[in-house]
Amino acid sequence: GENVEQHPSTLSVQEGDSAVIKCTYSDSASNYFPWYKQELGKGPQLIIDIRSNVGEKKDQRIAVTLNKTAKHFSLHITETQPEDSAVYFCAASNSHTGNQFYFGTGTSLTVIP
């Protein structure tokens, strides 16, 4: 099965700085890579996703890059704000075998005002 690794497990940045979270996956058949944000006491919510036919995707301050050859993908948050503080999860899925999301181990991001 798929194995998704995520680093770092904790990350602290000053408000306004950038944050980068990296994930690697093992199954070359995986072709969908969502990123979820989980705030305290809530369920994970999708913030951005990328499919394997795309190398980069951006949505305002958030961007995701995908390197299929190296089997890794990254989340980039620019101009961080205190409300970005949360746990972030990457995931990988294979659309050809239906939905089974394999999650990374999570990154606890703290943005210091």
Residue number with CB closer to another protein (79 or 95): 95
78, β-bridge pairs: none
Shortest Å distance, C-beta 40 to another protein: 11
Residue number with CB closer to another protein (19 or 90): 90
> Helix (H, G, I), strand (E, B), or coil: what is residue 80?
coil
Residues whose CB falls within 8 Å of the CB of residue 69, separated by 6 or more in sequence, listed in order: none
Shortest Å distance, C-beta 67 to another protein: 18
Shortest Å distance, C-beta 43 to another protein: 3
Shortest Å distance, C-beta 10 to another protein: 11
CA 103 – CA 43 distance, rounded (Å) = 14
Residue number with CB closer to another protein (49 or 68): 49
Site of interaction with another protein (CB under 8 A): 31-32, 34, 36, 38, 41-46, 49, 51, 87, 89, 93-103, 105-106, 108
Neighbour-count burial of 32, counting CB atoms closer than 10 A to its CB (0-12 exposed, 13-18 middle, 19+ buried) = middle
Structure tokens given for 89: 């999860």
